[in-house]
Structure 1
Amino acid sequence: MGSATTQALETTANALAGATGITVDVAGELFAVARLISDSVQLSGALADPSVPAEARAKVAADVFAQASEPTREVLRVAVSQRWSSASDLVDGIEELAVRAAAIGEPNADLSGELFAVTRVIADNPELELALGSRLGDSSAKAGLVERVLGGSTSQATELIVSSLVRQPRERRVRQLLSRAMSIVAAQRGAVVATVQTATPLSAEQHTRLTEALTRRYGSNVSLNVVVDPTVVGGLRVQVADDVIDGSISARLADLRQKLAG
């Protein structure tokens, strides 16, 4: 990610946070905008070309997306007025805004937990992952498949995020897309995502203690996703972004074997 894109993401996220009238419907419009820009080389080039004045890029976006709601048009105006490292980064940025808007639109829904649950369902069903990740599948059919699989078991925001992302994977794996979405949701809500692998389910008390300990360690609220994995043997393996805390017995045994072999 280039420095220009990093700055653009920060500016657009702040603009979204300060906007009014952000709903799940606005998130849906932003996802649709991202798809349309990605599908048109001419449009993406016009909106991301740094040699074109920001006012001109904003005018193009206003004309093309004139039927969108006022909150969507305003957020999009800010987005296309920024300098992005590439047209692809602009699409990614608008997609990120859509995920953030979904989190804002349903503030009481456990989006991180629901997205994680969907990720586990996909991981446990290779055929489903193949169908959703295939480059040959029809995008609308993939969205319909997501709706059938979820069957109303998640919030509207989660269903929108998942169905929208699988419609336009852009060479990305489905679980990679959902992992990114979880991180975006957590960031929007001022939290970090911790994935915990344990041999047995955590009790409510253990869940609370671990959450509090990680919150102190990272200085931020923590969204805890727990994976029960018998291969862990005992203890816990915790991953927060690239930081891994491995206190499992299996890890200690592996370390001991390596030392004995070396």
Structure 2
Amino acid sequence: MGSATTQARTATAEALASTSGVDLDVARELFAAVGTVSGSAQLSGALSDSSVPAPARAGLVSAVFGSSYRPATVALLSSAAQQRWSTSAEFVEGIEELAVRATAVAESADIEPELFSFSRTVAANGELELALGGRLGDASAKGALVTKLLDGRVSAGTTLIVSSLVQNARGRRVRALLRRAESIVADQRTRIVATVYAAAPLSAEQQTRLQNALSARYGSAVTLNTVIDPTVVGGLRVQIADDVIDASVSARLADLRQRIAG
């Protein structure tokens, strides 16, 4: 990712923070805009072309989306289009990130654990992963399948994110899309996500103690996603981004074997 895109993502997130009236309908329109822009190389190129004056790019957004989208949606798209992006593909990803962030703003439920739970379901079911992530198949049918699986079981925001992403995967794997969305939601809500590998489910007291310890260490609220892994044997292995805290019995045994082996 280029430095221009990094700055553009920050500016777009700041624009979201200052925009009023952001609800799930706005988020839904932003996801729809991702499909429109990604489906037209001419449009995505024009909106991300830094040689074109920013006001002209904003004007193109108004011309394409102004008559059918809400003012808040158009304002957010215009803000994104006026930034400098390293590539047109990264511009599309920037709008998609904006849509996920808007969903996190509009939805009060805990989206992160719902996304994680569904990603585990997908990981455990090869047929489902193929149905949602295969290059073949109708995009709307994939969205309908997600709605059928999740309707009434998770928040409307989670259903919107998952159904939108699988309908416009652009060659990316479903589990990777869900992990990225989970990370974006956590960042929008000023949280970090910790994946905890344990041999058995944690009690409520254990979860609270672990959350408090991790919050104190990282200086931020922490969302725990627990994976039951018998190979851990005992103790815990915690992963936060690239940081791994391995206090599992299996890790101690492996270390002991290495010491014995010399």
Instruction: Give the TM-score, by structure 1 length.
Output: 0.97
Could you tell me which runs of 5 or more consecutive residues in structure 1 were left unpaired when the two chains were aligned.
none
**1-side partners of 2:25 and 2:258: how far apart?**
54
Tell me which amino acid in the other structure corresponds to 2:187: A
Tell me which amino acid in the other structure corresponds to 2:99: A
**2-side partners of 1:18 and 1:158: how far apart?**
23
Structure 1 segment 126-165 matched on structure 2, within 5 A: 126-165=126-165
Which residue in the other structure is 2:86 paired with?
A: 85
Deviation (angstroms), 1:255: 2.6
Deviation (angstroms), 1:121: 1.0
The secondary structure found in structure 1 opposite 2:244 is strand
Which residue in the other structure is 2:228 paired with?
A: 228
The secondary structure found in structure 1 opposite 2:226 is strand
Which residue in the other structure is 1:102 paired with?
A: 103
Tell me which amino acid in the other structure corresponds to 2:27: A
**1-side partners of 2:183 and 2:103: how far apart?**
13
The secondary structure found in structure 2 opposite 1:227 is strand
**2-side partners of 1:256 and 1:132: how far apart?**
43
The secondary structure found in structure 2 opposite 1:239 is strand
The secondary structure found in structure 2 opposite 1:247 is strand
**1-side partners of 2:152 and 2:172: how far apart?**
26
Deviation (angstroms), 1:81: 0.1
User: In the TM superposition, what whole-angstrom CA distance separates every residue of 1:116-152 from its partner, at most 9, and x where no partner exists?
Assistant: 1111111111110111110112110110111111132
**1-side partners of 2:141 and 2:226: how far apart?**
31
Which residue in the other structure is 1:117 paired with?
A: 117
The secondary structure found in structure 1 opposite 2:222 is strand
Equivalent pair of 2:234/2:248 in contact (CA under 8 Å): yes
The secondary structure found in structure 2 opposite 1:50 is coil
Deviation (angstroms), 1:258: 3.6
The secondary structure found in structure 2 opposite 1:165 is helix
**2-side partners of 1:112 and 1:68: how far apart?**
27
Could you tell me which runs of 5 or more consecutive residues in structure 2 were left unpaired when the two chains were aligned.
none
Which residue in the other structure is 2:71 paired with?
A: 70
Does residue 9 of structure 1 match 2:9?
yes
Tell me which amino acid in the other structure corresponds to 2:163: S
Which residue in the other structure is 1:257 paired with?
A: 257
**2-side partners of 1:261 and 1:121: how far apart?**
40
Tell me which amino acid in the other structure corresponds to 2:70: S
Structure 1 segment 167-206 matched on structure 2, within 5 A: 167-206=167-206
Tell me which amino acid in the other structure corresponds to 2:128: L
Does residue 54 of structure 1 match 2:78?
no
The secondary structure found in structure 1 opposite 2:201 is coil
**2-side partners of 1:128 and 1:60: how far apart?**
39
Deviation (angstroms), 1:252: 1.9
The secondary structure found in structure 2 opposite 1:223 is strand
Instruction: Give the TM-score, by structure 2 length.
Output: 0.97
Q: Percent identity?
A: 62
Equivalent pair of 2:151/2:159 in contact (CA under 8 Å): no
Deviation (angstroms), 1:261: 4.2
**2-side partners of 1:133 and 1:106: how far apart?**
25
Tell me which amino acid in the other structure corresponds to 1:230: P
**1-side partners of 2:40 and 2:135: how far apart?**
18
Deviation (angstroms), 1:256: 2.9
User: In the TM superposition, what whole-angstrom CA distance separates every residue of 1:69-109 from its partner, at most 9, and x where no partner exists?
Assistant: 011000111000000010011111100010011111112x0
Tell me which amino acid in the other structure corresponds to 2:181: A
Change (3 A) 1:257 1:86: same
